[in-house]
Structure 1
Amino acid sequence: MKEKLLIIGASGHGKVVADIALKMNKWKSIAFLDDDETVKSSMGIEVVGKSLDAFKHIQDCDLFVGIGNNVTRETIQEKLETEGASLPTLIHPATVIGDQVELGVGTVVMAGVVVNCCTEIGKGCIVNTGATIDHDNLVGDYVHISPGVNLAGMVKIGKGSWLGIGSSVSNNINITGGCNVGAGAVVVKDITEAGVYVGVPVRRVNDGWQRF
């Protein structure tokens, strides 16, 4: 761990990431990188350069990708990993993490989250405010679990999927990668085909990407 933390992305998600980093109290200084030249600071934290400047600071800073879009986050984090960057895992102090839980680098776990025992969460994931993940879950890389999502036991979520706010997944369910599950949706059967799913229970509505 380095003494300085640079967060790539100073907008909404980046702000929450910065708030968690401040509350963890592990870095002497924290700053943002953002490609919007009109943004000079966020949350009172200075924006010191653009996203590509991260590669200039690999030796002296920890780096965290504070971008909500799964594809963009993956693209940037994979490049940083290739260059040997130090990528921390951020965990809000107001979380409950069970025994034998593994969290990948570049993953953020936000306030009020519960992750129960024997669960594995991949790298570059977002586990958003108040989500619950029960025992023996397997969450792939670059998954976004939105606020208030509830995953029962023995659930598997494939790489790059996005579970919308307040959605629920029953026990022993597999969701393939590249899925977007709508807000408030309920998943009671395996999802084996990528696409957008909405409703109670969920139904597939199209192939394309949609934000929830």
Structure 2
Amino acid sequence: MTQDADLLARVQRAIDPDVFARLSQMQVAFVDENGIEIGQTSVIDAHLGEAKRHRAASVFLFSDSGKMLMQQRAKQKIVGGELWSNTICGNARPSESSEACAHRRLREELGIEGVVLEQVDSFEYRVPCDAFFSEWEFDTAFIGTYSAEPTPNPQEVMGWEYLSFDVIQKQLEDYPEKFSPWFRVFIKRPKILEMFHAVSRQIVEKE
């Protein structure tokens, strides 16, 4: 048995069989170093071991008061289960654009539709998640405005909260283990930090 096959067998024993079956069938866009689609692979395969590079979208929604809608990922998620992260993160399906993925996952995870999204960053990152899985994404980050209560899908999301950037920073310093490993990467990127600062400046200017 190869190393990957052995790891896959251990994953199959460790996670819910229905989740394993569903994510073994669900396909995502496999991309090169420029983010160009070169094939497709299953969600399980895309994240197994050191992972395979795949297209993704991340969304940061801010309320009118400048607080970001954070979500706590559902326990059964194969990466980042029970951890807090930005509004949504999603893997693009084959032939699906990053923006289309962002809107789809907003709807599927939080019941949010019709939000205008603006691209703020595009980058590649790679980070281990646990003994079984890693993330390796060519990610596009979007910002939008939303102040209502979301309608979370319990299979995707177990909690949500609007938090200010100051509170997020303090919680990251005190309890980094409560946040997804990719969110800890995102929050250090200059363009994403500038996004938070720009939102804060706009709120001050309104007051």
TM-score where L is the length of structure 1: 0.25
Q: Which has the higher helix share?
A: 2
Higher RCO structure, 1 or 2 (CA under 8 Å, sep 6+): 2
